[in-house]
Each structure stands twice: as C-alpha cells, then as structure tokens.
Amino acid sequence: MKKFLILTLALAALFGFTACSSDSGSDEPAATVRVENMSYSPASVTIKKGETVKWVFDDNGLPHDVVESSNETFKSELLTEGSYTYTFEEAGTFDYHCTPHPMMLGTVVVED
C-alpha cells in the first residue's frame, strides 16, 4: 500500500496534479443536478454568467433529457446514464423540462 501511495504521489508531481487545490478550475461545474426518481434534484439552481451546470443521469434505465423550454437554448440527447453539461454565457432564468416526461421541470437562474 505504501509503495502505491508513493507511486501515486510521484505521478501526481510529475504531471502537475495536486491532492488539494483551492482553484476548482473551469472544468468543474458550478452546480450539479441529479436526474433520478423522475425528477431533477435540485429542481432549481443559481449560478453566475459563464459557469457550467452538469446534469447526471441515473434513473434505473429510464431515458430522460434536458431541454430549455422557450427556444431550446440547450438540449441534451435522451440519456439513461452519463451526464450532460452546458455553460451559460447569458444572464437570465432558464426553465427546462424532460421531453418524454413533461412533468419533470427545472430552472437555472444565471446572475451577472
């Protein structure tokens, strides 16, 4: 186990990874929404302009998507697993739904 830890730390140093970092990086989502139990959880998230939301699909094989309601500003494929991300470049309130399950509703509030 000790050799594994030393090897892991050596590789991390070699490739510039750190175990702890205060910088979340641009690849990290500002909010994560779980798509499970026939719902989006949380149903509403608030982020800043330029930040990303990640939807994680895991609803026992049921297909869901994420479709912005007014003009399809963002639209995922139907997914049973995996994730979909979208970076919001404009401020506003974005309501979304699931195409096959229209009772599934969510909102992203994007602040300046």
> Where residue 81 sits, what CATH number does that domain have?
2.60.40.420
Beta bridge partners of 87: 52
Instruction: Quickly list DSSP for 60-89.
Output: TT--B--EETTT-SSBPPPBSEEEEEEE--
pLDDT tens for the 112 residues of the chain, in order:
333 333 333 333 333 332 222 233 457 999 999 999 999 999 999 999 999 999 999 999 999 999 999 999 999 999 999 999 999 999 999 999 999 999 999 999 999 9
Strands 92-97 and 67-68: antiparallel
Question: What is the number of structural domains in the chain?
Answer: 1
Q: For residue 51, tell me if it sits in a domain.
A: yes
Q: Is residue 6 part of a domain?
A: no
Backbone angles phi, psi at 8, to 5 degrees: -60, -45
**What is the extent of the structural domain holding 38?**
28-111
Q: What is the pTM of this model?
A: 0.76
Q: Which pLDDT tens digit goes with each residue over 35-44?
A: 999 999 999 9
Does 74 fall in a domain? Answer: yes
